[in-house]
Amino acid sequence: MSSRAFRTPIRLLLLFFTSILLYFCLRSSFTPKHPNSVSSGLSSNPYPKQLVVASLKSDNVSWLEENLPDWHANVYVVDDPKAKLMVPMNKGRESMVYLTYIIDHYDRLPDYMVFMHGQRYQWHNDDPIYDGVPIIRSLRLPYVEGVGFAPLRCTWVPGCPAEIYPLNPSENGRPARIAAERAYAPAFRTLFPNMRVPKEVGATCSSQFAATRERVRQRRKSDYERMRQWLIETDLDDAISGRVMEYAWHMRHDAIINTSSQHMLGSQMVGLKKAVGSMDGQHLAGISDTAWQMRHGNTVIAPAFTGELLHVQKSDVEMTIPTPNNAFTIEG
């Protein structure tokens, strides 16, 4: 009798604590989330810095994870239907990837995005050996935060001060340029129905840039969907539609490209401490960990490992650029 009397209070205590535990579990599961958790984006995305990468099946993209581990890479493979990240149609080159990412992630965009190509070494990378790694590593996110949109290329040519004259197409230049200039005005009216077609368009080439969530969201999701639909439906060749999009990204994000002071852009964006006076509109934004020299006229410009730009005068120089596998020399 005494044993049974002892067990009864124990059972009551266990029942009491079980009821309390169940109450708090149910309460937490039914508590509504903060209504602004998605729109603010402060905690809705676990990766605040993301790469949006346009690649082909033949591209080796292992360099992204190996060299940029603090960036989450979204690698789209446009010509592989079995890829983890795909596009609705392989048209418009990298623009189809960029637009697809924005559309699919519009409500959960990260703080910072870098839109780029899948190959590490490319001629348009502002680096002595055309390496994409130091450009991303040196990127100053406070600067990107301040401007909202920043091209990864600071070299003027090609693209600045003006590359396309939509209202006065020229018959001069390469066939791709001529065709893109002719197609630009009608395409612009579809891409930006509420904007007047500009007389001239100037922007750095290559369609590689950094952007913030706030700047991307300045345009509605339906705007990006309309742009992607234009890419899908256009009869233009990929080289032409891709070029039209290439020289419109800064307008999609309402960015102003200051072509009169591109050297300042490079200095602020990737942390260069000095800029050499007259550089004929050329500036290298990336600083790699290799010694290099480049000549502009009679000036040899050599960035030290600290990020300083040094220069010496020399009438006849030799430019040596280390490459991943060897080194080649261009005699001046």
Residues 219 and 104 occupy one common structural domain = yes
Q: Is 212 a domain residue? A: yes
Choose the final residue of a domain: 252, 287, 321.
Answer: 252
Which structural domain, as residue segments, surrounds residue 128? 49-252
Residues 320 and 179 occupy one common structural domain = no
pLDDT at 150: 86
Answer yes or no: are the C-beta atoms of 206 and 246 closer than 8 Å: yes
Give the tens place of pLDDT for each residue, 236-253.
Answer: 988 888 888 887 776 654
Q: Is 262 a domain residue? A: no
Choose the final residue of a domain: 252, 285, 306.
Answer: 252
Give the tens place of pLDDT for each residue, 10-61.
Answer: 676 677 667 676 666 555 444 333 332 222 233 356 789 999 999 999 999 9
By DSSP bridging, strand 327-331 and strand 49-55 are: unpaired
The full length of the chain comes to 332
Cα-based angle 120, 207, 310 (whole degrees, multiple of 5)? 65
Residues 155 and 113 occupy one common structural domain = yes
Give the tens place of pLDDT for each residue, 296-315.
Answer: 333 322 222 223 332 323 33
Q: Is 311 a domain residue? A: yes
Q: Percentage of residues in the chain with pLDDT exceeding 70?
A: 56
pLDDT at 249: 72
Cα–Cα dist 78/117, whole Å: 12
Residues 60 and 185 occupy one common structural domain = yes
Q: How many domains does the chain have?
A: 2
Q: What's the mean pLDDT in 288-302? A: 29
State the chain's maximal CA–CA distance in angstroms.
Answer: 110
Q: Is 42 a domain residue? A: no
pLDDT at 255: 44
Cα–Cα dist 89/97, whole Å: 9
Structure-block tokens of residue 239: 């080289």
Residues 176 and 223 occupy one common structural domain = yes
Q: Is 179 a domain residue? A: yes
pLDDT at 26: 55
Cα–Cα dist 190/168, whole Å: 19
